[in-house]
Homo-oligomer: A and B are copies of this chain.
Amino acid sequence: MPDSRIPATKVCRFIHAAMERLGLPAEDALTVAQLMTEAEMQGSDGHGVIRLVPYARRIRAGGVNVRPHIRIAKEKAAMALLEGDNGMGHLVMKKAAQVAIAKARQCGVAWVGARASNHAGPASLYARMALEHDMVGMYFAVGNANHLPPWGGLDMLLSTNPIAVAVPAGSEPPVVLDMATTVAAYGKVKARAQRGEAMPEGWMIDRQGRPLTDPRRAEEGFLLPIGGYKGYGLALVIGLLAGSLNGAAMGSEVIDFNHDDKTPTNTGQAILVIDPDAFGEVDDFKARVDKLARELRASERMPGVERIWLPGEQSHARRIANERDGLALSPTLRTQLDALARELAIPPLAES
């Protein structure tokens, strides 16, 4: 393992210790640490370890309930509405996925929504939980800051509201789509700012509609939705399903968690699980997914294109490489984590 890289187990122990010191019960601290490490492992750098410092700040400001009573508030055979009690989103959505998987096994399909949740990391983390049960997962969330106006407008009333879909395959990697409804996710803007790199044109515009490429000026502009009004429509309907349906925050109710550490975010998320076993032989389905993946990969390519990727294939490769080589955390992030360790009086990452 290269010197600059850190084994995932070490990263997980460090986050676990930090979360426990911040007041989470040991088991919950471990769950959050495992999911945050998993996010980093699959290359979701904007939603992985980089979030630990802002999470800690919010918890210490009293903005998150460290001992939540996460419970089913409403329930029917194929659905549940979880009351997150302002707990860490990772805890709420892991439970949501578990409930959805159990109900989908009974009913063929299940939908679980959550309100009073919080930021839970990358969308694919939860959609992927269905995979080990040979099920399909879909995840929808309301983002924790509005960066998107309605199409043609200037008031930032919508977030990047992501969608993730995970589909099991046979011998091929699963197909895992994880996308914000904007050309770039805000986490990617943050990562560019931290690395001191400019953004390409097309990610953001300013209030006069001009391209904005300096990520440090991000708050002067807004993200562009994919396909123009189509991405605006997708962001809106995902927000209606993940937010409004659950009685969670949407539109002007969304708290900007970059600027407000105290007000409960009332974050809304939802997960849909489909059991292919209800539709026919699971192995036949997985073989069809394999066949399709190979067909797409074997397509003739445009000049200069080295290979065709399936959604989730690059994360899959990154996960394998990170397991082998350890995680590469930026020097800026390492410095922040060392400072956090001192503040919390826990061993630094290097000694975790």
Contacts and interface: CB of A to CB of B under 8 A. Distances in A.
A288 B151 contact: no
A102 to B, nearest CB: 13
Given A111-B109, A226-B230, A241-B136, A236 B175 contact: yes
A111 B153 contact: no
Interface string A280-317: 10001100110110011101111101011111000000
Nearest to A296: B150
Given A111-B274, A226-B227, A272-B272, A299 B233 contact: no
A32 to B, nearest CB: 27
Contacts of A179: 227, 230, 233-234
A249 to B, nearest CB: 10
A81 B288 contact: no
Interface stretch (A17-25, A38-46, A70-78): A70-78
B237 A167 contact: yes
A108 interface: yes
Contacts of A120: none
Interface of A: 74-79, 81, 106-111, 113, 136, 149-155, 157-158, 165, 167, 175, 177, 179, 183, 209, 226-227, 229-234, 236-237, 240-241, 244-247, 250-252, 272, 274, 276, 278-280, 284-285, 288-289, 291-292, 295-297, 299-303, 305, 307-311
Given A155-B299, A245-B279, 16 more contacts: A77-B77, A81-B279, A107-B107, A109-B272, A152-B301, A155-B300, A157-B295, A209-B302, A236-B310, A240-B289, A244-B289, A245-B285, A246-B279, A247-B280, A251-B295, A251-B296
